[in-house]
Structures are given as structure tokens and as C-alpha cells.
Structure 1
């Protein structure tokens, strides 16, 4: 689903149309570039890198001004240059690379219960609810007056390592920060350079959220406790973030106009310098190589400093290869549905009752009205016809030729008092609006309703709204919109890593953007809004990361990602494998769900972890045949120039192999090292399972540990021959501790080579 509310659909269109279009550039026209420099070349005469960067541009006619200097996420700067100025800059000693600034796409009362977080035991009490952990939210800003960002119950002292500030601006006073919201900074120079505009004239001169996206994600990850939150009576309860005692630092880089990579880099650079513990970013670049991806570049620096970066997978599913942020050193999060259903009840004149889905945002009176079913009217494809025949009644909408959105729009425009929509589309549970007094029921229930309407003189119906209940649907399922792997940036590493709740998530909203519509003209505001997208899934995972940072401050960024991956649940609430949501439900592959749904309490005590060092990631970059300049654009240092140990075999908690043709038998070996993080001696035995005819073996199949932090090596062998091209085969490896306390699971997947690498050719 789109991330913005319906009244901002124009923003989505702008992002979709403008993103990554070829740009025709005359020599005297200018474009913004992100420039990478080797700081070891800086002459000693300069007292700062910024002064050196500026000096490299002085020889150009009409010396351009630097937009940003970067020193944490990367070494370099962003600047608007003509083609001639760029060519001159390339001759400067210390120049590594430059590429155009690019636009980026922006991709809760019950979800914490769905994830089994509770006050009595597990990760919440063990982590002290992430007390004093600082989460940096890279997004569209914040609405600080929301109850979710009040500081009641918060630790008043700021963490000693915190170096950030609360920056005032247009309609945002720095005094709005408190013990919950401790940092607020905005970055707009890339946007302004692209528009050649003044910030105040386009409303881009403060951290105040004018879109709603950033407020929603920030409250999801670390919002405070708010009683009585709901979306027009739906999802009633106490809202809270996944890490309710964590502190929030907001870095506004996304604007109502567009989002630019140079601004994202500046926000990430500042977050790292400020001393955040976790970075949550619900946006990404599509089809960008790692060495030109601002998230990948900044996240490498963050990873070196122990900061975990959690990023959304994108909303371009369900096709394969649509994922962004497929970065090996980032936690990439897809979206799932939950077991909660928002709905209402249809009561027929004969007393029979049927439950259905709705989010109609009012307590409407649809009581004992005439129930209308007619083959010419019930296609619901003409507002004029509906207005003439069914006005004043409740119409039954049943047509395989007219989609649900069109039917709803026609009913909304017709002025019909109520509607019963018959649909089997499972994606209905991912919707977030109902603009008419309507209810969606299943085809099975629809048969009974139609039978009653046809056979009963003066048939009548009553509809009750604003109901919330659990099940009986299977959950989770992978949301249809959630982008699928393999990653175009690095197909050798399985992405997404995990899925988290992302559909119909209740979180804080802003009063300036309507959250619902009734009919063609009435818009409604609310303090808490339901949103869907991997943007909503990402902060769930970010919140769990914040909890783990407090519970295990000694763990590296890769250790935390490993703990979340190997403890994720591949089964739904019925004990069956998680399925994909959509027109044809099927078992979800690791390309859709990674290892499965995050399980915070199990991640607290994973038993074994797969750790990785910065050099391990560089070995992978070397195997990908990146040039030294491209590697240095990511790592910022010549210390990683050694490619003598180039290898695709990253010590990652998942396994990906490729096949070129169904007639060719695939045999692949992976080598891994696991670190024991339990207490006391332990013995683990390998258990493998496969799907689609794969054969998996492990040597040795038994690992013995005497002490904590011991490491053991093993080799996984993968054999398969596909029945047909384009199939995805998968299975899993589970290390089972002999007492049953720990089960360490890693997905194994076989991907068609032309699917995995076709995307690489388009970068």
C-alpha cells in the first residue's frame, strides 16, 4: 500500500514519475553531485576538510558553494556543478568518485502483543524497555505535540555520549524537545538546490512534519504510553512504541516535494556523529549500486561504530527482485499482516449476522434499510445508476469484472446509504480507507445474503461499524505490497532478513493532513492513524533492536541482526508455514519473508550468532569485482584495500545459491562460523529440511561448546536440480541445542540466476 494518506497521493505520483528518469544535461547547466574524496590527500595547510573541499572548487568559474560536507557517513561533500566544473574537479588530487544526487522513495495498539512482548518476562523487562537507548529516525520530521512524544516516565538525564541538539525552525521551537524527544535536525539543501527555491517559500525550513510519515514511524519505534488511542473507534487501546522508554532523535530529510540522496546522507552523517545507538530509515533508492546508495554508504560507517541500521524493503511487491536496501550490513525488513481485523457486522431482516471488513470512519446509522440486489445495479459500476435505483437503501455489490476500489468510488459518489461488497481478495485487509458506509464480506457469506435479498419481499439490512477483533484469519502472512528479493544491490546475500507487522498499524498522526474521507467532500482528522507499508514494519524491527542494544550492549551490529534472523518464526498462528497474501496464496519463500516474523523474546537468547567484521564485508565487495575507488566510496579508508581474501561466502545467517538452467544439477558449499552466546556447556545438532526437492547436508553435524564465546566452523552443502525454470527452491538449517532450549534456524534458498542477475544489468 502507498505510504501517504489518500489526500497526499500526488506526492506518491511525483516520486514515482520523477525517480531515476534519465537527465539530459547541457554543459552550462548544473546538477547536484555527491563527491567522494580521499582525505589522506588533504594538504597540511588546511585546518579542516571543509576548507580543503572548498579549495578544490575555487579554480572553477563562478565558484560553487558546497551544500554539505560529510565526515562520518563518508568522506566528501555534495555540490551543484556544471559538466565542465565536474571534469575539472576530477583532476583534483584526492578525488575518488562523483555521482548525481538522486530522488528517493519513502517506502501501535496491538502489534506488540502480536510479537509476544509483555511486562512479566522476556525482552521488555530484560532491556528495561530500552531506557536511555537513542533511536535516530531518518524520515519526514515529527509532530512534537503528539501525546506519543510526551516524556512522562522517562529518564530525565541525557546519555553521556549524546552530542546532538534540538534545532528550531519554521513553526518549530527548540523548547518542544524534552526527555523523550532529545534531538531534532533538518536537511534541505539537496531539495533547495534541485528546486532553486527559498526554504521558507516551500515550507521546508523546520523539522516539523507536514506529511505524517515521520511522526507515524517515530511513534511506532519508541512512542510513549497513550491511553485511549484509536482510529475513529477502531483499534482502541493503549498506544506505545516497541521500545517505549527509548529516546528519539529526529533527522528530517524527506519533504512533501521530494527526497534527495544528498539530504539523506547529511541526516545519516549527523546521526552517527550525534551518537545514536540505532538508526531507523523507512525509505530507499531503487536500482542503486552499493557505492552510490546513501543508506549503504552511511550504514557501513554506522556498523563500524556498533550502530545498527534498520531499513524498509520497499513497497513494490509481490514480484521478485523489487526490493531496495538489500545491503549486507543492514537489517532489511519486509512487511507482514497481523491477526487483527477491523470490521463491522451485517444484520439481515431475518436476524442472520455476518462479519466483514470495514474502516468506515464514523458511527453511521444504517438501520433496517431496504436491501437492494439487481443484476444491472449490483455491478456497482455506475454512480448515476446506483443513485437512481438504490439511493436510500443498502446495495449489494457483486461483480468479478469491477474491482473493489472502483465499486467503492461509485457507491461513494452515488449517495447510497450503505453497501455490502462481496470480495475474496485477501488484500482487502491491507486497505486503510472506506469512504462510504460499507462492509466487505466473503463470497460464501455473500451467497446467503443474495439469496435472502432475492427471496424476501421488503428485504432489509442493518450495518454496525467500528468493531475490532482477532482472527479467524491465518497470521502472519507476507503483505502483497512488501518488496521481494533477490536484492539488485547484492544478490549473494538473502534479503529481506525478516518481516515485521506492517499492515494497518496504528500510530501517531499530524492534524494538518486528513486521515479519512466520507463521501466526495468530507475529510476527517485524527490524532492516531492506520498506515500500511514496509515503512511501518521497519520501526517495529528498529524498536526490537533498541531493546536488544540495552539487553546486550556488548553485541555487534551483525550479532544483533543474526539474533533477530535465527530466532524469527517461519510459522503462522496455526503452526503452518507462513503464506504470501494475494490473489493466489502460497507458501512464502525466503525471498518474501527472509527467515520469518521477528520474535523479540527469543532474540534475547539466541544461543548462537553469526558475527561478521567490516573486513568480511569488504571481502564480499571484492568478490563482486568492485573497483578500489568504489570500495573506498563505501568504506572511506584505504585500510580496506586488500582484496586477497575475496569471497562471496559472507558469514551470514542465511544461504543463497543460484542455478542457470533446470537441466543443470546445482552443488554449492557454504562455510560458516558460529559463536556460542549461551551460558554453560552446550551441544548442538544439525537438523535440515527442504522444499521443492533440495538436498541439504552439514559437516560436522554436531557442535560442542564448553564455554561462552567459543567459535565453531561448519560447512553446508546444497544440492538440487529443478523441475522447471524460474522455480525458487528453499529449505532450512536448524542447530538444535540438546536440551531444547535453543533452536537456531537459517533459511536456505536456490534462485534462478537470470532472475537474480537480470536486475544487476539494469543498475
Structure 2
């Protein structure tokens, strides 16, 4: 038995009729096996008609044949997919703005939550929430909305029981869309300037559907159901599957369709697979705006000067204290423990001999370990790139 999503199309205007319909079809299938309370996970009835419930495979197949049921599919785990960017795309600070009109725009962010204390989300200078707003601030423990973040809900069962962002993705995407202008922002001291969102005067409603393990289908549909009824003007949904799904099995497609019917545009990330051909895009519904990543005209580079005088350029961030220092270089495969050179070559956990790495720059074929090089007391890390496309790692501080 597992969780299934049962999608039943548009909801009747009478919410009682929607509830009765859901109860009736579910009781016909589960019969006396379990109670309704034990089987039902969620009911979607504000903006469309559907439910999430625990079923056996046989019950799911039977339910899919019943009148009024559009689709039945298993609950799935979906995944989350610089200040110079706006200038590069021709949307600089000098573009004429309409703060009064923009302040009436509500952007719903279906993501991993939000961190309300960040300067990007300060409500200084904001007036009351737009009158059309029908939502609520149900952010959970230690969470307070303001005139910028006018609404928050959470659906995950994370220990925090809060709409707070656990991994930073939700705060990142929300600030990209509508973050305030924040002066003196930088990336480890580099690229200093003013960071801002596309529409700094807009309001934000955060719907947390993702935790560190991913984003469940049943929660994503619940967020769509609430957001549409809450009165958002636009939805940003930067999450999805690793590949495109049939429209009848795609919760983002279902939710965005009903948003479109209400005049709400859903902006969905195209995917995280890079330039892998026509199947790289996972967001294919015709009623959504699918957005892919763009290049930019700025790179943060670091130079490595070898002992023979040859200089190598790479994408990197390093402290200024490295200037003028000569450090020995060691290859990961030659500083392994447990007789496992392949794992050491990829900086895998517990495969580096700290006696051979300490105070040196370690060179790896791939970088899949988070802090293994730091734990082994390496002074720096260099990752080889033998691919036609650039490889990248997430910068992390190692002190």
C-alpha cells in the first residue's frame, strides 16, 4: 500500500458536493479495509477536485476506471531545480518602474520555504497587503509574516514544522523574483554591488512543499489548491522531475492548468539536465511558461601558477591570503587510504590520507565529497575538467 494522487478535474462550485463525491468514490474502493480517516491523506477542493490517499495497487487500478476520475498515479518525489544578471538581460536599475502597481502584485512561490529575516524580504516602506489577498500566514513555529511576505503555508512533515527554508533554495528563488534591493551584497567578497529581484516592490506568498529529501506530489497539489484560492497573481514553481511526464501524471501540469483557468501564470523551471538534447526539458505543459537558465557575461576566475611557470585558469573563489604562496600539489589517487585510489580520486568520504594531504593543494578527477578535503587538512582543492562542457561545484567555505 502506498500514497496515490486521485485527480478529478474541476471542482464543483458547491464545496459540500466536492467532499461528498470524494468520500463516495473512496468508500467504494477501500470498502471496510480501513477507515476513511486512516486512508485519506489530503483533500483538494478549493481550486480543483482531487485527493491523496493510501491505496493498494489493485484499488488504484479500480479507482482509475470510475466515472469522474481523470487520473490516478503514485505520489512522487520531485526535486528543486548575481546581481549582474538583470543588467546583462537589459533590465537595469534605470528601467522605469511603477512601484504602486508593482506593489499590488502577489507572487506565489511553491518551493522549499523562505527565511523572513533576510534583508531581501524586509517590509520597510511597504503598505498593507493588497485587498484582493485572501490568504493567511500559517508559517508555523517562530515564523512571522510582514507587509512583504504577506502569506506563508507549509505542507512538509519536517521536524521544524515551519515554512522556514531548510536548504536555501526557496529564499533564493523568492528573492530572484521579488527581493528588495540590498546594497553591498557580494559572493565571498567578490562581485560586490546591489542585489535585487526582478520586481522588488511585489509581495510574496511562500508555500513550502520541499524538504531536504525532495518535494512530494501530494504537497505540491495542496499548495496549488491553496495558492489559487489565496489570490496570487503569478506562481513560480522551480521544481520538477528529472524527465518529462505524461500530462495525466504530472501534478505541476494539473495545478498550473487550474491556475491558468483563473488567469494566473505559472512559471516553471525547464529542468536541471543541461543541454542534453530535446528530452532535457521536463516542463512541457503548453499553459505554463518554462524558463531555462541563461549564460552571463561575467565569470569569477582563479589562476594557478605551476612550478614550471605555466598558468591555468579555472572557475573558483579563494581567500586573498593565498596570494604569493607556493604550495605543493598532490593527486587524489596517490594519497588514498584503504587501497582505494579511485574513491580518493573523487574525494570520497574517508578515503584520503590526511598525513599526505595536509597543507597541500589536492587535485581530483571529480568532487563528490562535501568536506573530505577540509577534514584531511588540505590547503586547497582543484577539480579536473576533461569534459566539453564546464563542470562546476558549489563553493563552500573551508576554514
TM-score with structure 2 setting the length: 0.80
For residues 502-525 of structure 1, the C-alpha deviation after alignment (integer angstroms, 9 at most, x for no partner) is: xxxxxxxxxxxxxx242xxx5xxx
Please state if 1:301 is matched with 2:258. Answer: yes
Find the counterpart in structure 2 of residue 151 from structure 1.
123
Please state if 1:119 is matched with 2:93. Answer: yes
What secondary structure does 2:194 align onto? Answer: strand
Find the counterpart in structure 1 of residue 35 from structure 2.
63
| Structure 1 position 143, deviation (Å) | 1.1
Q: 1:100 to 1:418 in 2, by over 3 A?
A: closer
Provide the rounded CA distance (Å) in 2 between the counterparts of 1:84 and 1:412. 51
What secondary structure does 2:26 align onto? Answer: coil
What secondary structure does 2:6 align onto? Answer: strand
Provide the rounded CA distance (Å) in 1 between the counterparts of 2:283 and 2:3. 22
Q: Check the 8 A contact 1:380/1:386 in 2, yes or no.
A: no
| Structure 1 position 216, deviation (Å) | 1.3
Q: 1:427 to 1:40 in 2, by over 3 A?
A: closer
Q: 1:98 to 1:110 in 2, by over 3 A?
A: same
Select which of 113, 119, 136 maps to 1:165. Answer: 136
Q: 1:75 to 1:418 in 2, by over 3 A?
A: closer
Find the counterpart in structure 1 of residue 74 from structure 2.
100
Find the counterpart in structure 2 of residue 275 from structure 1.
231
Select which of 153, 157, 179 maps to 1:185. Answer: 153
Q: Check the 8 A contact 1:39/1:94 in 2, yes or no.
A: no
Provide the rounded CA distance (Å) in 2 between the counterparts of 1:356 and 1:83. 52
Find the counterpart in structure 2 of residue 739 from structure 1.
none
Map 1:4-43 to 2 at 5 A.
30-37=1-8
Q: Check the 8 A contact 2:46/2:226 in 1, yes or no.
A: yes
For residues 270-307 of structure 1, the C-alpha deviation after alignment (integer angstroms, 9 at most, x for no partner) is: 11111111110111133421122111112112222221
Provide the rounded CA distance (Å) in 1 between the counterparts of 2:2 and 2:280. 28
Gaps of 5+ in 1: 1-29, 189-198, 434-515, 523-763
Provide the rounded CA distance (Å) in 2 between the counterparts of 1:77 and 1:380. 52
Q: Check the 8 A contact 1:133/1:247 in 2, yes or no.
A: yes
Q: 1:165 to 1:394 in 2, by over 3 A?
A: closer
Please state if 1:221 is matched with 2:173. Answer: no
Moved more, 94-103 or 304-313: 94-103
Map 1:242-261 to 2 at 5 A.
242-261=198-217
Select which of 255, 274, 293 maps to 1:335. Answer: 293
Provide the rounded CA distance (Å) in 2 between the counterparts of 1:231 and 1:165. 34
For residues 126-147 of structure 1, the C-alpha deviation after alignment (integer angstroms, 9 at most, x for no partner) is: 5768322111100011111111
Find the counterpart in structure 2 of residue 139 from structure 1.
111
| Structure 1 position 208, deviation (Å) | 1.4
Map 1:229-248 to 2 at 5 A.
229-248=185-204
Please state if 1:317 is matched with 2:274. Answer: yes
Q: Check the 8 A contact 2:7/2:71 in 1, yes or no.
A: yes
What secondary structure does 1:250 align onto? Answer: strand
- The higher radius of gyration belongs to 1
Provide the rounded CA distance (Å) in 2 between the counterparts of 1:96 and 1:428. 43
Find the counterpart in structure 2 of residue 383 from structure 1.
335
RMSD, matched Cα: 3.7
Q: Check the 8 A contact 1:380/1:411 in 2, yes or no.
A: no
Gaps of 5+ in 2: 337-351
What secondary structure does 1:51 align onto? Answer: helix
For residues 424-451 of structure 1, the C-alpha deviation after alignment (integer angstroms, 9 at most, x for no partner) is: 7675574332xxxxxxxxxxxxxxxxxx
For residues 192-214 of structure 1, the C-alpha deviation after alignment (integer angstroms, 9 at most, x for no partner) is: xxxxxxx4xx4162211112211
Provide the rounded CA distance (Å) in 2 between the counterparts of 1:408 and 1:231. 19
Map 1:174-573 to 2 at 5 A.
176-188=144-156, 199=157, 202-203=158-159, 205-285=161-241, 286-320=243-277, 321-345=279-303, 356-360=314-318, 362-369=319-326, 372=328, 379-383=331-335, 403=365, 405=367, 415=377, 417=379, 427-428=389-390, 430-433=392-395, 516-518=396-398
What secondary structure does 1:47 align onto? Answer: helix
Q: Check the 8 A contact 1:136/1:279 in 2, yes or no.
A: yes
For residues 337-381 of structure 1, the C-alpha deviation after alignment (integer angstroms, 9 at most, x for no partner) is: 312222345579999988653123x443453436x57xxx5x553
Q: 1:294 to 1:388 in 2, by over 3 A?
A: closer
Aligned pair count reads 377
Provide the rounded CA distance (Å) in 2 between the counterparts of 1:41 and 1:129. 33
| Structure 1 position 419, deviation (Å) | 6.7
Q: 1:55 to 1:243 in 2, by over 3 A?
A: same
Q: 1:352 to 1:290 in 2, by over 3 A?
A: closer
